[in-house]
Each structure stands twice: as C-alpha cells, then as structure tokens.
Chains A and B, each alone.
Chain A
Amino acid sequence: MAALLSVEEITLRFGGIVALDGVSFEVEAGHIAGLIGPNGAGKTTAFNVITRLYAPDQGRLEFDGRSLLETPAHRIAEHGIARTFQNVNLFTSMSVLENVLVGGHRLGRGTGEKEARAMLEYVGLGVRAGDLAASLPYGLQKRVEIARALAAKPRLLLLDEPAGGLNHEGVEELGDFILRLRDDHELTVLLVEHHMGLVMRISDHVNVLGSGRKIAGGTPADVRANPDVIEAYLGSEAGP
C-alpha cells in the first residue's frame, strides 16, 4: 500500500529552539498510525505542520502524492484532512449542530443540516444538537469535535489526545470507536496519544518522537521492545 501522508525530513525552529529536527514518517492509507513520545517531543507541533498552521523551515510534506507546503491552512479541509485538538477547540458560542455544519461548509450544496444531524447521531449526540457547544461536558465536547471533523468528509483524520480526561472504560470505548470510525468512513487515522494501552491496541504502526527527533517506528510490538523508546520514556511517565 502506498503512503497517504508522507512527512520527510521536516525541521521547524522557533527562534533557537528546534521543535522538530529532521522528522520523517509515513502513514499508509487505511492505517491507524500512532504518534507517541514524552511531553514536549513535538507531537502536536507535527500536527500543526501537517495542517499548515506552522510552516516548516525544511523538509517535504506530501499528501496523496502532492506537496502540501503550498497549501494554505483554509484549504487543508478541501484536500481531505481534518483534525481535533488536544484542548477541545469548538466554536463555543454556537450550537452543537452549528459546529458540525461549519465543519461541512466547504462541501457546498447538499451537505446541509440533514447530514450534520446524521453525523451527530453517529457520535451519539443527536439529542444535544440544539445545545450550546460550551454547555456540554468536556468528554462530549470532544465528540462534537470529532463529528465536526467528520462532517468535512476527510480521508485523513488527525486526533490529538482523544483519550485525555477519559476514565478506563471511556478509553476502551474510544478505542473501539476509532476502529469503527476508520472502517465506516474509510479513514486513515493519525493518532497522538499518551495513553499507551490505547495506542498499542488499535495502531497498525507507531512512530515515536523524542525531543523533536524520531527515535523509532514500527509495529506496536517492535516499538515496545525498542531500547531507545524505553530510554526516552524512563523517568517520565508510564513506560511502553
């Protein structure tokens, strides 16, 4: 299978700080790819590069064989890339339904309210359609964000710490949900997550970042056994 997304030798500096240092990885179509690493490793920064919020200093970024580096952020959705944020990033003063409507607004005619409502049903929030987005509890806001991302009919979905704030059962459910999502919507998923159990369970491939560099990549089993990965995590948080 061909790579849907390929990140090649991406370097990004903020002043003197090197946030990403020659990072390369590929995400194959139909895969769920995990992106893990200790805090500050550059995972969210990588997301921001892929969605064109940050312009890298060096490197290439290709989606479906075409370079993304000339694409402005507002056209990313058009190309078929959607994302969620680490700290939920909804249009708080708008209703849940309106949030999802905005998500699909590029698709023009035909993707109206009906599809937005269907998407809300899909994530189990049909009855909350009219509520103000800000009034929902955090966990449900995360689902609104996913519905909004899906409304754009993406081919690649970037999920930034979807398990944040969830309890054990919640994480289990989320794992099943992401797998179902991938199958139902023929998605490719790139997942940034601290919850190792979740990443190892659902990912086809895992890339590990440490201090802005890629330190490992492979199947969950490979990564788990990699001594560099174990070292990167030692003394920080839950080991792999």
Chain B
Amino acid sequence: MAAFFQQVVSGLASGSIYGALALSIVLIHRATGVINFAQGEMATFSTYIAWTLVTHHGFSYWPAFVVALVVSFLGGVGIHEAVIRPVERGPRIRVVIVTIGLLLVLNGLVTWIWSGEVRAVQSPFPARTIDVGGVAISWQDIGTIAVCLLSVLVLGAFFRCTKTGLAMRAAATNPAEARLVGVRVSRMLAVGWGLAAALGAVAGMLTAPSVFLSPNMMLTVLIYAFAAAVLGGIDSPVGAVVGGLLLGVGLNLLGTYVDFVGSDLGLPAALLVILVVLLVRPAGLFGKPRVRKV
C-alpha cells in the first residue's frame, strides 16, 4: 500500500507540472482561441536562462528562478507584440502556424546558444524523503507540487481580485464589447502571453531536475499538458490543473501496475486520453459545451 501512495504522490508531482503548463496553454486559448504550440519551447528557453544565471553568474537558485520568471514574462509580451499581434486579425490558423514556427525557432535558438548537450540540473529541494504514515515522500515531489499550486493560486487571485485581471477576463470573453467599455484588448492579450510564458517557465524549471536540461526536454511534457488541458476542458483553468493532476497520477499508476505499459507507453496513453475525451466529451471534465445562439 505504501508503494501505491508513493506512486500517487510522485504522480501528483509530475501532474502538477503538466497542470501548470496546461494552464498556460488554456490561458492563451481562452484569450485568443488558439493553441500555442511553442509553449513548451518557451519554457525550455526560460529554464536555460535560470540555469545560466546559476552556473555562470553566481546566482543561487531562487533569485535565478524569480529573474527567469520576470524575463519570461517580458519575453512572452515581446513575442506577442513581435510575431503574434501582426497576424492576430484574420484566420486563427495563421496564429497557430506562427506558434509552430516559433517552436522551431526557439528550439533552434536554444541549441545554438547553449548547444544540444544534456546537462544535469540541481534540484532546489533536498534529496531526502520525509516519512508520512509509513509512506516515504521525496522533498522534490512536495516542493514541485507546492510551487506549482502556489503559482496557480497567485494567478487565480490575480484574475479574480485585480482590475487588470478583470479586464483580461473581459477581453478574453468578449473582445468587441470589452473594447467599448474601455479595455485595451491588445494590451491585455500581451499581458496574457507574458503570464502564460511565466507560468510555463515555472513548469520548465521544475521539470529540469528530473529529466535533465536539454533543448527537447519539454517535448513530451507539452504532449501531457495538451492531454491535461483537453481532459479538463480546454477553456477551463481549474480543469487544466485538475486534468494535469489526474493525468500525472493515472499515468504513474498505469506505468507501475500494468506491466506492458511501463514507462515507454506513457505518451500513447496520453494521446489515447486526448482521443477518448474528444470523442466522448469534447468539452472535457470542466468545460461547458459550446452553444451557438442563432
């Protein structure tokens, strides 16, 4: 039984990372109706920035973490202004294609700047475990869950309790009307990209210690995040987080207890989740089915 709970907790840890990245995907999807395929590469880029600060500039972990968040936020805003905004009006497929291009560019840029070498990244959490009722839980897992959930809560409070948050939600729900009540919709979208980039950076920096830092480290995480977002409902922030946690735990248990799945079939399982959700309940667990008024 202890082994089972251990798997659940480590599933929650990876799940909270999927959830955080899924939430950043949902943020942009809600605001613009497009999937940002570059979300994973943006996170990788942020993680390299934090890594550089720590290894080459003498930063300790948490200050580097915060600086990377700020840089990511500005980077997200910059990406929106530079390459998304020009194609924002018009068919959505244009924006989607731009994000795919962005994925390739960022991936190439990371390899060019930092080389494709795989590097070990130190975890900010102690390598020990803590005993909770006979179950050994690693600090790494606890820390990951805590940081992800804290980021999500801070973001939630921002959207609920601040004027900018309110204006951003208004811009996301009904841009034309938001404009008329004085919301600068384009500026809000830029802030949305910034926040999504910062949240993605959290996911990236927490992923790095367990998978090693490499230009492609977020590739699989991004697929899991897509699955999480679809499972929770692509328009539901709560759904993204819950979907991430469910997926993390589910995949972990599947890998442990179903022999033939092992650790290699996680990705196909995630794709199966996407497929089944889209067929059975396209709006996801928390999404509302779209009703079009005629």
Contact = CB atoms under 8 A, between A and B. Distances in A.
Given A91-B170, A91-B173, A102 B178 contact: yes
B232 to A, nearest CB: 15
Contacts of A106: 181-182
Interface string B175-191: 01111111111000000
Contacts of A101: 166
Given A93-B173, A94-B173, A105 B179 contact: no
Chain B interface size band reads 10 to 19
A105 B163 contact: yes
A58 B181 CA distance: 26
A102 B179 contact: no
Nearest to A85: B177
Contacts of B183: 74, 102, 105
Interface string A88-103: 0111111000100111
Given A91-B174, A92-B173, A73 B181 contact: no
A74 B185 CA distance: 8
Nearest to A83: B180
Given A74-B184, A98-B166, A105-B167, A91 B177 contact: yes
B224 to A, nearest CB: 26
Nearest to A98: B166
A77 B178 contact: no
Interface in A87-137: 87, 89-94, 98, 101-103, 105-106
A75 B176 CA distance: 13
A155 interface: no
B179 A73 contact: yes
A207 interface: no
A32 interface: no
Contact of A89 (B163, B166, B167, B177): B177
Contacts, number: 64
Contacts of B180: 51, 53, 73-74, 76-77, 82-83
B292 interface: no
B182 A94 contact: no
Contacts of A148: 181
Contact of A75 (B170, B173, B177, B182): B182
A27 interface: no
A104 to B, nearest CB: 8
B178 to A, nearest CB: 7
Contacts of B169: 91, 93-94, 98
A74 B166 contact: no
B56 interface: no
Interface of B: 163, 166-167, 169-170, 173-174, 176-185, 293
15 contacts: A53-B176, A53-B179, A73-B179, A78-B182, A82-B180, A89-B176, A89-B177, A90-B177, A91-B177, A94-B170, A98-B169, A103-B181, A105-B181, A106-B181, A152-B181
Given A89-B174, A102-B178, A102-B181, 8 more contacts: A53-B180, A73-B180, A77-B180, A85-B177, A90-B177, A93-B173, A102-B170, A105-B182
